[in-house]
Amino acid sequence: MTFDLRSLGWDPYFAGAYAAYDRRGRRPARVLRVDRGVCTVLGDSGAARASLAGSILAAAAADPVVLPCAGDWVVVHTWPDRRLTVESVLPRRTAVVRASAGAASHAQVLAANLDVAAVVEPLDPEPDPGRMERLLALAYSSGARPIVIATKADLVPRPDDVVAQLAAVAPGVPVHAVSARTGDGVAQLRSYLPEGGTLGLLGPSGAGKSSLVNALAGTTVLTTQALRADGRGRHTTTFRTLIPLPGGGVVIDTPGIRAVGMIGGDSVPGSGLGGGFGLDRAFADVAALAARCRFGDCRHDAEPDCGVRAAIEVGELAPRRLASWRKLMREQSAESRRRQDRLAAEAGASWAWVPKQERRGRARP
Ligand SMILES: Nc1nc2c(ncn2[C@@H]2O[C@H](COP(=O)(O)OP(=O)(O)OP(=O)(O)O)[C@@H](O)[C@H]2O)c(=O)[nH]1
Ligand SMILES: [Zn+2]
């Protein structure tokens, strides 16, 4: 089977980046999934498995963000014995990056090169606004266009009412109610999947992401599993997976996101996108009200003439919006501090390798 790379999202942006790597034995391909360091990639001659080149592994030791993930465009090297290695990851246009768990404060890429980042929230059991706000900030900071997909619409009597409530925690973001079971609303999502377009699904485990992918594909490409009554053993989609759809466009299903740490700094290096950018966009209502505050750096706490608190008093803004914004801001600043500490510690550690005589006269980084 041969694939037209353009139907997978290949375009002049990636072709331009690839030109620097274009040599004998090299081909571009898109990463479908990554399994314990082995990538399944799809190129113009079909799908294949490729291991990671030593240069990528070495770079990943310092910063795991450089590891390929689903959606990445990579340079694949075919060796004379026909083995394949992923040699380079082409610059990402967008990336969903979360702070990984643990004290080291490294970031982790969940999916790359999305055009649309969908926050997937089930209508049943009740949607969780706090989770949606967090995922929306993540979606915005990826650089992709955010939307909300409210799943399992068949399980609630008046999905439109709930959608209206969800719209309040997602200002300016389209909210679509869908049912994978009945197919309602699925056709409308196709407008986000033009030829070569990439739609990523971000949501908790059990939100119905795999079912939605199957509904979009019109066939069963992912296995879904009924939730166990005790709520355990529900992690079915273990690896982030990119699925090319028959009608053009690709979907990336990420595994159920249990904890998404906010990151500070840039999520797509050099892009200016990042945690702060995402929070400002996801809380555009708070940001707009903040323009009325007397102080530019108002924390909407005890400052006089605070536009945000005034809006809450007259019922213009729900108090929980300010509380959510505060919580995510705090988390993001804490992460930024941890990251700064880590970078400082790493700079100190690498300094130790520089011979003494060379250190003299060199400014510390
Ligand atoms: N009634 C109804 N049930 C649905 C719908 N979509 C999914 N489900 C059910 O919800 C459960 C979870 O669906 P999945 O598609 O596996 O959820 P997921 O988000 O992929 O979950 P992970 O793979 O754990 O990330 C399954 O029992 C599905 O049958 C829907 O539209 N209506
Ligand atoms: Zn204020």
Q: Give the ipTM of the model, two decimals please.
A: 0.94
- Residue 3 neighbours by CB under 8 Å, 6+ apart: 42, 43, 44, 45, 46, 244
Given ligand 1 and candidates 124, 211, 236, which is best to mutate, with the most ligand atoms within 8 Å of its CB?
Answer: 211
Looking at residues 157-173, what average pLDDT do you find?
A: 93
> For the residues 264-268, what does the mean pLDDT come to?
57
pLDDT digits (tens, 9 = 90+) for 73-95: 999 999 999 999 999 999 999 99
**Is 200 within the bounds of a domain?**
yes
Same domain, 207 and 288: no
**Residue 365 neighbours by CB under 8 Å, 6+ apart:** 347, 351
> Which residues keep their CB under 5 angstroms from ion ligand 2?
293, 298, 300, 306, 308
Least confident of 5-14, 135-144, 246-255: 246-255
- Of 151, 205, 224, the residue with max ligand 1 atoms within 8 A of its CB, to mutate for a pocket test, comes to 224
Q: Does pLDDT of 234 surpass 50? A: no
Kindly list the protein residues whose Cβ atom lies closer than 6 A to any atom of ligand 1.
Answer: 151-152, 154-155, 179-181, 203, 205-211, 224-227, 234-237, 255-256
Range 218-243 burial, b when 16+ CB lie within 10 A, else e: eeebbebeeeeeeeeeeebbeebbbb
Confidence of residue 43 (pLDDT cuts 50, 70, 90): very high
Q: What is the pTM of this model?
A: 0.84
pLDDT at 170 over 70: yes
- 361 occurs within a structural domain: no
- Looking at the fold, whether 73 and 103 belong to one and the same domain comes out as no
Domain edge (last residue) among 89, 105, 121: 89
Confidence of residue 132 (pLDDT cuts 50, 70, 90): very high
**Percent of the chain whose predicted confidence (pLDDT) is above 70:** 81
Q: Is 287 annotated as a binding residue?
A: no
Q: Which helix H or strand E contains 338, and what residues bound it?
A: helix 319-351
- Mean pLDDT, rounded, for 302-323: 95
pLDDT at position 353 over 50 = no
CA of 306 from ligand 2 middle (Å) equals 4
| Ligand 1 nearest atom to the CA of residue 151, by list position | 31
Looking at the structure of the chain, the number of domains it has is: 3
Closest-approaching ligand to the CA atom of 309: 2
- Whether 356 has a binding-site annotation, put simply, is no
Do 157 and 289 have their domain in common?
no
pLDDT of residue 226: 41
Q: Whose CA is nearest to atom 32 of ligand 1?
A: 152
The answer to whether position 112 is within a domain reads: yes
What CA–CA distance (Å, rounded) separates 1 from 5? Answer: 12
> Which ligand sits closest to the CA of 233?
1
Q: Is 12 annotated as a binding residue?
A: no
Is residue 203 marked as binding?
A: yes
pLDDT of residue 4: 86
Nearest CA to ligand 1 atom 29: 226
Are residues 172 and 75 part of one domain? no
> Rounded mean pLDDT of the chain?
85
Residue nearest to atom 13 of ligand 1 (CA): 208
Rg (CA), the chain: 22
Query: Do residues 38 and 103 both lie within one domain?
Result: no
Which protein residue's CA is at the shortest distance from atom 5 of ligand 1?
A: 152
Centroid of ligand 1 to alpha carbon of 77 (angstroms): 38
Inter-CA distances, 32 with 110, 127, 195, 200, Å = 12, 30, 17, 12
Are the C-beta atoms of 192 and 147 separated by less than 8 Å? yes
Domain co-membership, 109 together with 211: yes
Task: Say yes or no to pLDDT of 106 above 80.
Answer: no
Q: Which ligand is nearest to the CA of 302?
A: 2
Q: Which residue has better confidence, 205 or 155?
A: 155
Residue 64 has pLDDT above 90, yes or no: no
Same domain? 107 vs 219: yes
- Nearest atom, ligand 1, residue 227 CA: 27
When pLDDT is averaged across residues 48-60 and rounded to a whole number, the result is 95
Token pair in block for residue 189: 């999502």
Last residue of a domain, one of 61, 89, 117: 89
Q: Is 293 annotated as a binding residue?
A: yes
pLDDT in the model for residue 291: 95
**Are 53 and 127 found together in one domain?**
no
- The DSSP bridge partners found for residue 83 are none
User: Cα angle vertex 277, ends 258, 290, to 5°?
Assistant: 110
Question: Within a domain: residue 259?
Answer: no
Residue 348's pLDDT is: 72
Say how far apart CA 41 and CA 38 lie, in whole Å: 9
CA dihedral of residues 295, 298, 302, 308 (deg, nearest 10): 100
pLDDT of 321: 95
Q: Are residues 85 and 135 in the same domain?
A: no
Q: How far is the CA of 181 from the centre of ligand 1 (A)?
A: 9
Residue 293 located in a structural domain: yes
Q: Which residues form the domain of 171?
A: 95-223+237-253
Q: Cα-Cα-Cα-Cα dihedral of 122, 126, 131, 136, to 10°?
A: 50
For residue 90, the model assigns a pLDDT of 97
Structure tokens at 216: 């979009």
Q: Is 102 annotated among the ligand-binding residues?
A: no
Calpha distance 153→179 (Å, rounded): 5
Q: What is the domain-level CATH number for residue 153?
A: 3.40.50.300
Distance CA 100, CA 114 (A): 20
Q: Residue 29 maps to which CATH number?
A: 2.40.50.140
Annotated binding residue at 204? yes
Pick the residue whose CA is nearest to atom 14 on ligand 1.
208
Region of poorest pLDDT, from 47-51, 96-100, 266-270: 266-270
> Are 83 and 118 members of one domain?
no
Tell me, what's the pLDDT at 273?
Answer: 60
Instruction: Please tell me the predicted confidence (pLDDT) of residue 313.
Output: 96
